[in-house]
Amino acid sequence: MIYLDNAATSLRRPQEVIDAVVRAMTSEGNAARGAHGAALSASRTVYSARVKLAGLLGCPRADHVIFTSNATEALNIALFGTLSAGDHVISTDLEHNSVLRPLYALNEERGVELSFVPADDRGCIDYKDIERLIKSNTRAIVCTHASNLTGNRLDMPRIGAIAKKNGLLFIADASQSAGCTEISMQEWGIDILCFTGHKGLMGPQGTGGMCIREGVDIRPWKRGGSGVSSYDVRQPDAYPTRLEAGTLNVHGIAGLSAAADYIQSIGTDAIEARESALMRRFYQGVAEIDGVTVYGDFEQKKRAPIVALNIRDYDSGAVADELFHYYGIATRSGAHCAPRMHRALGTEKQGAVRFSFGWFNTTEETDLAIEAVRRIAE
């Protein structure tokens, strides 16, 4: 199988990640739940992972790296934990449902006001629209770093500067960028950075988290055992235990820690260069094929390694089935949990076929995918 669905999850992971998970499953206990060797080993694993991810994502405090089951959970914690009735939030048309659905729920349940920066038919926004939408009760800007549909990236430092200038909270979704490119939460002015472990970070599914700037107050989304302050009736105030009630996925975190080591050994610049080269090679190979429509802004120098396309008026699901059953190529079709972006692109009914490249893909696989698209189009 030629696996080109890395934007959904990394299928091929470093052997070091697999080994770390197996080792943790056979040797590590429950972090912060005992003073015996297995419990202490688990605690060390979790702390080490916090330190590595803080360094990888530009978070100044390792104890402000919070572990969750994925980016969706992290975003829900961030949004429900910072927004209140009467607040106004600015987001964009690029967002995944992991941002949109919590925002819609906050609008319905708490009366949080929402404004969305529109995207054009290439999936691009006008940054001046962000400033135009700011009101006296605006509390936060919430946006993705990179679209999971088009691969277009937003200018995080520019948005961070707008947020800082206006005293707004800046919450970023790095699901499609963490591990694939250099990220500096602190330098970019991001207050809360949410990430998932199973995509560009090449870790296990069921891992993810958030990095929180010092001084940012997030209300706990859940409450329960923390291994400390057991006689208090309230959840402990200090991060990370404030947001980590219950047993952590130590086995998954061990794998994520090994993945961070692997990424650091290669360097995000090298990973980005390789994945970008494959994406550009594929784009250039399919863009001129008669009947193929490609979506997104490929004039961007840096973008996520994603190419979304349609072939004539064929249903995107039928194309994806053809690619897999006849060519052995795994892609993603349909709506991609990004309804506002599909409306902007005009693909609400047809959906789109998404090819997303990862570190373990090759030029040979890329060329075979180009040829498969050509044959289907013909």
Distance CA 276, CA 29 (A): 40
> Which pTM was predicted?
0.96
| The pLDDT of residue 256 | 98
| The pLDDT of residue 225 | 72
pLDDT tens track for 100-134: 999 999 999 999 999 999 999 999 999 999 999 99
Q: Calculate mean pLDDT across residues 25-34.
A: 89
- 232: confidence class by pLDDT, cuts 50, 70, 90: confident
- 245: confidence class by pLDDT, cuts 50, 70, 90: confident
pLDDT at 229 over 80: no
pLDDT tens track for 37-74: 999 999 999 999 999 999 999 999 999 999 999 999 99
Mean pLDDT score across all residues of the chain: 96
Sheet holding 65-68, edge to edge: 65-68, 208-212, 192-196, 169-173, 138-144, 88-92, 113-117
pLDDT tens track for 150-174: 999 999 999 999 999 999 999 999 9
pLDDT at 86 over 90: yes
pLDDT at 271 over 80: yes
Amino acid sitting at position 348: E
Residue 371 Rama label (left phi>0; alpha psi -120 to 50; beta): alpha
Cα 14 to chain centroid distance, Å, stands at 19
| The pLDDT of residue 370 | 98
| The pLDDT of residue 237 | 86
Q: Calculate mean pLDDT across residues 305-333.
A: 98
